[in-house]
Structure 1
């Protein structure tokens, strides 16, 4: 039986469980949300729901904070990494598109 890779991104974990898994207080977790370092979903009742990827992100944030890195710096680093991923994705899409066009029109690379 194969495990669905999306299990890591499904927002199903409550803040209490996240607190237990990470060792962070619920207040710290909310603070990281306020600082736009983590983005939980909300239920209709307003409860936060996190994913396993969020838990990993929170652990990474906590480790950086222990090293003395400020939340602003962590946020800037996250934004740079996101932009880098977007640029890499764009390059891959362009290469795939070129390959499809070349295949469609019988263009051979030399």
Structure 2
């Protein structure tokens, strides 16, 4: 059985392990979530679960914060990047549909 979700995207890492991997405190990680920079899933018991991609993202956020970038600016930059990626996917889909390319 083949899973379509990459191992990097599976939300399996607890906040404690995330703290150990990144060197950030649990409070810092929760703060970034509150500022809508990070979006963990929740287990049935309500525990946060993160992915390896979230680890990378959190390190990028921490580095930007160290450089003096405000959380608002980080969020704006991420939103702009996500919109651009969505636009590119839509254009690619339209081109593929126009030329009958299927994946």
- How big is each residue's C-alpha offset from its partner over 1:31-56, in whole Å with a ceiling of 9 and x where there is no partner? 00000000001111111000000000
CA distance in 2, matches of 1:78, 1:35: 12
Q: Which residue of 2 aligns with 1:89?
A: 89
Structure 2: gaps spanning 5 or more residues:
none
Please list, as runs of the form range in 1=range in 2, the aligned pairs for 1:91-106 lying within 5 A after superposition: 91-100=91-100
Instruction: Tell me how large the CA RMSD over aligned residues is.
Output: 1.3
CA distance in 1, matches of 2:43, 2:92: 36
| SS of residue paired to 2:6 | helix
Instruction: Count residues in correspondence.
Output: 98
Q: Which residue of 2 aligns with 1:41?
A: 41
Larger Rg: 1
- How big is each residue's C-alpha offset from its partner over 1:69-104, in whole Å with a ceiling of 9 and x where there is no partner? 000000000000000001100110011001118xxx
Q: Which residue of 2 aligns with 1:52?
A: 52
The ranges of structure 1 where at least 4 consecutive aligned residues each deviate by more than 4 angstroms after the TM superposition are none
Give the deviation of 1:5 after TM superposition. Answer: 6.2
CA distance in 2, matches of 1:66, 1:28: 13
- Structure richer in helix, relative to its length: 1
Q: TM-score scaled to structure 1, two decimals? A: 0.86
Q: Which residue of 2 aligns with 1:23?
A: 23
Structure 1: gaps spanning 5 or more residues:
102-110
| SS of residue paired to 1:11 | coil
| SS of residue paired to 1:13 | coil
